[in-house]
Amino acid sequence: MDSQPSFEQLIKEDRATRDSKRWRGTLLEYLELVRQDAHLTKLAHARVYEMIMRDRARDILETEEPRVKRLYKDEALKVYDFFRDEFFGIEKTISQIVRYFHSASLKGEESRQVLYLMGPVGSGKSSLSEKLQRGLESLDPFYAIDGCPMFEEPLHLIPRHLRKEFEKMLGVHIEGDLCPVCRFRLKEEYGTRYEEFPVVARYFSKRNRVGIGVVPPVDPNNQDTSVLIGSEDISKLDVYSEGDPRVLDLNGALNVGNRGMVEFIEVFKNETEYLHAMITATQEKIIPAPGRHGMVYVDAVIVAHSNEAEWQKFKADHTNEAILDRIVVVKVPYNLRLSEEVKIYQKIIRNSDFRAHVAPHTLEVASMFAILSRLEPSNKCDLMTKLKLYNGEEVVEKGKTKKLDVQELRDDTKREGMFGISTRFIMKALDNALSDNVEGNCINPINVREALINMVKEADLPDDTRKGHLEFLQDVLHKEYLELLEKEITKAFVYSYQEQAESLFQNYLDHAEAYVNKTKVKDRNTKEELTPDEGFLKSIEEQIAIIGSAADGFRQEVIAYLWAGSRRGEKISYRSYEPLKEAIEKKLMSSVREISRVITKARTRDEEQSGKYDTMVQNLLQNGYCPSCVDVVLKYAANNLWKD
C-alpha cells in the first residue's frame, strides 16, 4: 500500500505537469518561441508522423521468434512501437499508413489526399483511427490564436507583405490565412497592432473537439453541411448584419479538426456533395465558411474508412473519378496469423469486464476458426496446412517439412483477408460460451466450439458459406483439437515427459549417426561399443510413416540438419527438427496405452491407476486448467480419443 502514491498526490502531480505546459502570451512572444523551436509550427501530417516516430521503429526480423523470422525472411518490413501493443498481424497495413504520413509530412502530394482505410467489418479500421487520435491527445499542447474557433496557427496574423522576411528569420514556411472570425476581431480589437493578439497553448482533445473532429455517417435525408463546416447562428442574425462574422459558428468537424485530424466514419454512406467538402479540404486546404463568408484555410489529416462493398459501389460510379484520384487507399484486411489472432482476443478480454477462466487452447481454437474462414482455398495444400504455414510453423508431411513458399501462396490469392468471420463474431461466441456455463465460470475449446456452431447455424449467411463454416467447426477443428488435447494429456500423464523426450532424441541421434557413418555406438554408461539398433530407429520413424527405403534418407537429413544447426551455435533439443519432434511425441503417446484405461475406466481404477490419474490432473491444473475445465476436457478425451 505504502509504495502507491495517494490520489491527491497523483492529481497534484498531473496538474503541475499540465500547468507547466500551459502557456499564454502574445504573438510577439510566440514568435520568440518559434525562433527557438521551429517545430512548433509543423503542419498536421508532420505532427502525426513525428508522433508515430517518437516511439521506436524496428525491423520485423529483430526478434527471437523463429516463426516470424521464417515468415519475413525476404521482406523489409518495419514494426512501429507506437502501434505494437494494440495491433497484431497487420504490420503491412500499418507500414503503409506510416508511409503515407511520412510522404505527407514532406508536403508531397499525399499531404493533399485523404487517407482511406478499407476493410471488412471488425478488422480494426476504427481502432487504428482512434489510436491516432489518442496519440494526438497525449502530445504536448500546440499553439493557437486565443479564441479562434479553429485554433488556428498564430503565424496567420503576420501580414502578407512581411511573411518572406519572417519566414527567413524563423526558418519556417507560413501557410494559410486568418479565418473570418479572427480577421474581424483583429480589425475591431487590435487595429494594426496584430503583434499583441493573444496566443495560447492548447491540448488536443476529442471530447472537447480541439484539433480532433469526427463525422459520423449522416442520415441521407438530412445532409446538412453544417456538420462539416459549421453554420450561421440564426439568433445572432437579428443582432448583426448579414456578412458580419460574429454570426458564424465555425464548429463543424472540419473546423474543429484543424491542426489535427478529422475522421469520416463509413465515409461513402454520405452524399457525393458532402464528399466534395472533404476533398477540397484536403486538396485545396480550404473549406467554405457558411453563408457569405468566403473560404477558410484548414490544415488537417483526413482519415476516412468504410468496408469494401461501399468502396466498390462508389468506385463503380464514374462520376466519382475526381474524388477517387484524391484518395490514398490502404487496405485493412483481417489478420491471418494464428499467434496474432490469439493476441487480439487477449487484448479485447483484458480491456473488458470479461472475468472468467479461459482454458488452454480456447482462444487458439476460436482463432483457428476465424482464420480458416478468411482463407482462400489453394490447390497446393489444404486450409489447415495453409493456416499453419501462414503462422510460420513447419508442417510435416510424409516425414518431411513441407516446402511451400508462403509468399507464393499469398500471391495466388485474390481477396484473402477481406472476408470471413470477424473479431466481433468470435468475441460474441466467447461471451455466449460463458453465459452457457455460468456455474463453471470458465470457457474452454469445447463450449466455445459449440457456441460457434450455434451462432453459425443462426447467422444470416449464404448456404455454401454456412456449410463451409460448419465443416471447419465440426470436422477440421474437431480433429485438430483432439490432436492438441492428446498431446497435452500425454504430457501431463507421462512422468517427466520432457526428459523422456530428450532421452529418446539423444538415443535416436547416437544410433542414427552411427548408422549413417557406419560406425559403432558407444553406450553412455557402460562405454560398450554397440552396432546401431535399427529396430529402435524404425520404431521412431514409423510414427511418421517413414518406412523401408525412405529411412536412410531420413536419417541423413536429420544428422545434416542438426549438424548445421549446431555449427550455427543453436541449442539442439528434441524440438529442433520438426519431423523428428513429431515422431518422438507420437512415440511417447503410443507408449502410454495405459492412459486410455486410466482415463476412461473411472470406476475400475486400482490404487496405482488412481494415483496416476490424480498426478495427471494435478499436472493439468498446473498447466493452466481449472477444476471445471479439467473435468470437461478429460470427459471429452474419454469419449472421443480413447473410447474402446
Q: In three state form, how does the secondary structure of 384-440 look?
A: HHHHHHHCCCCCEECCEECCCCHHHHHHCCCCCCCCCCCHHHHHHHHHHHHHCCCCC
CA proximity to 337, closest of 367, 361, 362, 312: 367
Least distance in Å: CB of 600 to ligand ATP? Answer: 41
Q: How many CB atoms lie within 10 A of CB 258?
A: 30
Of 129 and 378, nearer to ligand ATP (C-beta) is 129
33, 324, 348, 516: which one contacts ligand ATP (CB under 6 A)?
348
What does the binding site for Mg ion look like in residue numbers (CB under 5 A)? 126
Separation of alpha carbons 496 and 615, rounded Å: 12
95, 113, 270, 423: which one contacts ligand ATP (CB under 6 A)?
423
Per CB under 6 A, contacts with ligand ATP among 265-324 are: 307
90, 115, 157, 253: which one contacts ligand ATP (CB under 6 A)?
90
Give CA torsion, residues 113, 114, 115, 118, to 10 deg: -130
Q: Which does 41 bind (CB under 5 to 8 A by kind): ligand ATP, Mg ion, none?
A: none
Of 348 and 641, nearer to ligand ATP (C-beta) is 348
60, 101, 111, 119: which one contacts ligand ATP (CB under 6 A)?
119
Of 126 and 576, nearer to Mg ion (C-beta) is 126
Residues 6 or more apart whose CB falls under 8 angstroms from that of 121 comprise 307, 422, 424
Q: Identify the H or E element spanning 29.
A: helix 27-36
Amino acid at 287: I
Residue 201's φ and ψ, nearest 5 degrees, are -95, 135
Least distance in Å: CB of 125 to Mg ion? Answer: 5
Least distance in Å: CB of 423 to ligand ATP? Answer: 4
Of 34 and 434, nearer to ligand ATP (C-beta) is 434
Of 105 and 423, nearer to ligand ATP (C-beta) is 423
Q: Which does 72 bind (CB under 5 to 8 A by kind): Mg ion, ligand ATP, none?
A: none
Least distance in Å: CB of 351 to Mg ion? Answer: 16
Burial state string for 259-295 with b = 16 or more CB within 10 A and e = fewer than 16: bbbbbbbbbbbbeeebbebbbbbbbebebbbbbebee
88 touches ligand ATP (CB under 6 A):
yes
41 touches ligand ATP (CB under 6 A):
no
Per CB under 6 A, contacts with ligand ATP among 469-498 are: none
Separation of alpha carbons 155 and 175, rounded Å: 8
Q: Which does 89 bind (CB under 5 to 8 A by kind): ligand ATP, Mg ion, none?
A: ligand ATP
Per CB under 6 A, contacts with ligand ATP among 424-453 are: 424
121 touches ligand ATP (CB under 6 A):
yes
How many residues at the interface with ligand ATP, by CB under 6 A? Answer: 19
Q: Which does 512 bind (CB under 5 to 8 A by kind): Mg ion, ligand ATP, none?
A: none
> What cell was used for 294?
468566403
Amino acid at 197: F
Least distance in Å: CB of 217 to Mg ion? Answer: 11
Least distance in Å: CB of 624 to ligand ATP? Answer: 23
Separation of alpha carbons 218 and 234, rounded Å: 22
Binding segment for ligand ATP (CB under 6 A), chosen from 46-54, 118-126, 275-283, 546-554, is 118-126
- Full DSSP string of 503-517: HHHHHHHHHHHHHHH
Binding segment for ligand ATP (CB under 6 A), chosen from 83-91, 251-259, 458-466, 511-519, is 83-91
43, 68, 124, 264: which one contacts ligand ATP (CB under 6 A)?
124
329 touches ligand ATP (CB under 6 A):
no
Q: In three state form, how does the secondary structure of 481-505 look?
A: HHHHHHHHHHHHHCCCHHHHHHHHH
Of 126 and 474, nearer to ligand ATP (C-beta) is 126
89, 154, 213, 392: which one contacts ligand ATP (CB under 6 A)?
89
Residues 6 or more apart whose CB falls under 8 angstroms from that of 433 comprise 443, 444, 447, 448, 450, 451
Give CA torsion, residues 115, 117, 118, 120, to 10 deg: -170
Q: Which does 609 bind (CB under 5 to 8 A by kind): Mg ion, ligand ATP, none?
A: none
CA–CA distance from 49 to each of 53, 84, 302, 341 (Å)?
6, 16, 14, 27
Least distance in Å: CB of 354 to ligand ATP? Answer: 12
CA–CA distance from 63 to each of 59, 140, 391, 485, 593 (Å)?
9, 32, 15, 29, 40
126 touches ligand ATP (CB under 6 A):
yes
Least distance in Å: CB of 350 to Mg ion? Answer: 20
- Full DSSP string of 202-220: E--BTTTTBSEEEEPPPPG
Of 155 and 372, nearer to ligand ATP (C-beta) is 372
Least distance in Å: CB of 130 to ligand ATP? Answer: 7
- Give burial (CB, 10 Å; 0-12/13-18/19+) of 239: exposed
Of 88 and 369, nearer to ligand ATP (C-beta) is 88
339 touches ligand ATP (CB under 6 A):
no
Separation of alpha carbons 328 and 221, rounded Å: 28
CA–CA distance from 574 to each of 397, 499, 505, 507, 580 (Å)?
18, 10, 5, 11, 7
105, 335, 437, 619: which one contacts ligand ATP (CB under 6 A)?
335
Q: Which does 431 bind (CB under 5 to 8 A by kind): ligand ATP, Mg ion, none?
A: none
Q: Which residues bind ligand ATP (CB under 6 A)?
A: 86-90, 119, 121-127, 307, 335, 344, 348, 423-424
